[in-house]
Structure formats: structure tokens, C-alpha cells
Amino acid sequence: MPLRVAFATLGCKVNRADTSLIQEVLPDEVDVVHFQERADVYVINTCTVTATADRQSRQLVRRAHRANPAAAIIVTGCLADRDPAEVRDLEGVVRVAPNSAKPALAAELARRAGLPRELADSAEPVYRPAAVTRPPLKIQDGCDGACAYCAVAPARGSPRSTPPGEVLRRLESLGSQGCPEVVLAGIDLGAWGLDLSPPDSLASLLALVGSRRPVKRVRLSSIEVLHLDDLLLRVVADSPWICRHLHLPLQSGSDRVLCRMRRRYSAHGYATRLEAARRTLPGVIIGADVIAGFPGETAADHARTMELVADLEISYLHVFPFSPRPSTPAATFSDQLPAEEVRERARRLRRLGDQLWRKCRLGLVGRETTAVVSTRRSGAGLEAFSHQGVSLTLAGDDSLMGKLVRVRLGELTEGGMEAEVLASPPEEGDRANTGSPGLPDPLEVGSIHG
């Protein structure tokens, strides 16, 4: 009998991409099943960006052990890197693999399935997408930032870029499988290429991809404003196949707090780059991360953040109540805020974010755009994701699943919009999606950023 393996992924798109990479080289002797099913092995790819992410990671381990007490549980990801002793003590855990060990997990699973070591270790990557419509592709890992609150950068190590030839090869593989959209992901995506010899840039990489067009559509995950220079904006503007959707972490609108966070920009600098993006990319949707209640944040600091977000009309917010991460400088600051005050400031930011997101979507009603249809349904409707980054619900039969379609945006839904499929074809040169749904979606919990 094949070895039944279930995957669960928490956190960012880089983690999702890491899980896909493990799955790519699994032999036929391994049967990937949904995490909710009984499995022989559970692989849990953890996140540690917040205390909530830590708690969710531990809960998944316990859920897997309850589902099959005899199963082997392998825990990897950033929590496994940051606190391997804590993870190792959880019942059922047989292996704690740091991020650097992820590439070897596929061979380990193959050996558990009974393959001889020499066969398991020599498996060639063959793309078998877990989510064929919008798979993330990790092209960069690691970060040399030293943000006072961040436990992810130490867990991920120094910046490492995937060489351009390998990026193209993987995009071509994804395109040949019929994936209509690929999300380029990285821990510090905008720093792609800076560590290569000779140094390269994300703008140069996107221009190279544009000369080949191996996939129909590319979306960029989170980018620091430091890397959002005029050249990158111009390449995106000249490339209609790059989605008009940017996520630019802000964290605070107060220069004093940004300095304590060890962020490398000012509130004015952030606003300047966001406005440059709006000028160069008319209609772009821009989201941001914001931390509420950082140690020492005063009521005036919080008000500055609220004011900046409102003045810039940021399209949507990902709001995080400050969560002290062990071994980070911010965890040692003596001026921690009361938990209830942190939660209240987060609530205010979320209310503002909801208002801005509603206003943004109202401005899109009646417009035509393209959208990638998911391989899942939302009740009676199909799920889709628009060029600008809006979740859609639309009517149609299963033949639309996994395809890029043209739609007209309609009424607002909770967090998304309704849409109508139009008869006209999508962008010129788009190929029909002939890919299969592939592997079961790994359980994704608490998408934290990117």
C-alpha cells in the first residue's frame, strides 16, 4: 500500500511554495491525502511570525496525533527553526526539520515509503501542483534586515536568490501544466538578485520573463518599499501580464516607532513610493501590513498611523496586534503596552481597513477585468481571483475551473465581489488551461503575510 502523507502549511506564500517543492519529487509510492484524512505521516510546515501562528502550529500537531496516534509527525518551518526543543516535545513528533532541511524531506518520505535510499535520493523534480490555478513560486529566501520584532529572518537565514535560468525553467514547467497564474514569492522578494554574482535585480528578472512569457500571468507577493524603485515600476507598467496588485508592508505611520522597529524608511518615504506606484500604475490596488501596539507606541503614534493609512487610502490592511517573539529585541523592551490596549488599537485599524476595502471595491463595480477561476466552489458559485487581487464569486459550470476568464465586477460580498463571466476571450495570446487539478490542496492555516 502507498504511504499516505498529509500536509498542512501555515504562514506566507514562501511556506506554501516550500510545501509544493517537497511534493514535486514524491514518488508514486507516496499518496498525498487531505490533512483532515487519516494518514501515515503528517508534514506540518509552521510559521512563527506571531504567537497566534505558534499556537496554530502546535494545534495542528495535536490534531494530527488525535487523527492517528500511530502516525509519524514531521514538523518543519520557522517555528521548528526558532524553537526545535519545544516542537520535539509535542506528542507524535518524530522529526523536527529546520528550513534548511526542507529539500531533503521528499527523499525522507520516499524512504519511509520503502524505496531504497539510492532511488529516493535521486528523484528528479516533476511538477505536480497542489493548487494548479495560482501556485506560489519561491524565487528568493532569507533576509538581512534586523527588524526588532521579527523572528522570521533569523529562522530563514541570509538572502538567497534563485538564479534566473532556474526561475525560467520552473515557470515554463508551471506554464506547461496549464497554470494560468504564478505568484512570485520571497521572504524579501524585492531583494532578488542582489546576492548573485554579478548582482541582478527583480526588474531585470521580470523583463526576462516578459521576453519569454512562459505563463499567462504573474503576481508579485509582498515587497518592501525600499525595493520599489522607478525601474521596477516601469517594468510592471509595461507588462500587462503582471497583476496590478502590490502589497507594501508599512507597520507604522510614526517615524519614532519605525525607528524603534528598525525599519529602513520614514513615513514620508513610504508615502512617496506609494504615490509613485499610483502614478505609474493607474488603478493599482495596494495593501499593507500594520502592527498595532508596538512597545512604547503612544496614542499619538497610533493616531499618526491611522491618519497616514486614511490619507493614502491604502486599499486594504493586514493588521497584527504586536506579539513579542522570543529572542527578538522588541520582546525585551520595558515599555510593553497592556494587552487590552493592543487589541483595541488593532480593532480600530481593522475597522479603518474594512472601510477602505469597501471603498476600493465600490470603485471597481461595473469594470471589466480578468480573473483566474479556482478549482473549488463557494457554495453554489465558483471562486475566482481578479487581476487586481479581489476574491470573486461567479456563476458557471465546472468547465471554467482553472481557467483565465474575462469578467465584469458586480455587487460587493463579504470581503469580495460578485462577478459575471463575459463571452469575450481573455488577453490576446493566452493559452487554454489544460492542466489537471493535481494533488489535494495542503491545509493552509492563518495566512500571515505575503
Is the Cα dihedral 30, 32, 36, 42 positive or negative?
Answer: positive
378 contacts 396 by C-beta, under 8 angstroms? no
d(CA 60, CA 42): 10
d(CA 195, CA 103): 21
Q: Please, which residues have CB within 8 angstroms of residue 105's CB and are 6 or more apart in sequence?
A: 22, 43, 74, 76, 97
Q: With a cut of 50, say whether residue 130 has pLDDT above it.
A: no
pLDDT digits (tens, 9 = 90+) for 144-175: 999 999 999 888 999 999 999 999 999 998 99
Boundaries of every domain in the chain: 3-126, 130-237, 244-362, 365-444
Do the two domains 3-126 and 365-444 of this chain adopt the same fold? no
20 contacts 129 by C-beta, under 8 angstroms? yes
Q: With a cut of 50, say whether residue 447 has pLDDT above it.
A: no
Does 365-444 carry CATH code 2.40.50.140?
Answer: yes
416 contacts 393 by C-beta, under 8 angstroms? yes
| CATH level 3 topology of 244-362 | Transcription Regulator spoIIAA (3.30.750)
Q: Please, which residues have CB within 8 angstroms of residue 380's CB and are 6 or more apart in sequence?
A: none
d(CA 176, CA 38): 33
Torsion on CA atoms 133, 367, 360, 248, rounded to nearest 10? 50
Q: Please, which residues have CB within 8 angstroms of residue 70's CB and are 6 or more apart in sequence?
A: none
Is the Cα dihedral 263, 264, 265, 270 positive or negative?
Answer: negative
Q: Concatenated DSSP letters for 249-270?
A: --B-S-HHHHHHHT-SS-HHHH
pLDDT digits (tens, 9 = 90+) for 3-23: 999 999 998 989 998 998 888
Mean pLDDT of 232-256: 97
User: Which residues share a beta bridge with 220?
Assistant: 184
44-58, 126-140, 268-282, 415-429: range with lowest mean pLDDT: 126-140
Torsion on CA atoms 93, 98, 100, 104, rounded to nearest 10? 0
* pLDDT in the model for residue 436: 35
CATH number assigned to the domain with residue range 130-237, chosen from the 4 options 3.30.750.210, 3.90.1560.10, 3.40.50.720, 3.40.1080.20: 3.30.750.210
| Of residues 389 and 448, more confidently modeled | 389
pLDDT digits (tens, 9 = 90+) for 387-446: 999 999 999 999 999 999 999 999 999 999 999 999 865 654 333 333 333 445 555 554
Residue labelled with grid coordinates 490533512: 35
CATH number assigned to the domain with residue range 3-126, chosen from the 4 options 3.30.360.10, 3.40.50.12160, 3.30.390.50, 3.30.70.330: 3.40.50.12160
Task: Report percent pLDDT > 70 for the chain.
Answer: 90
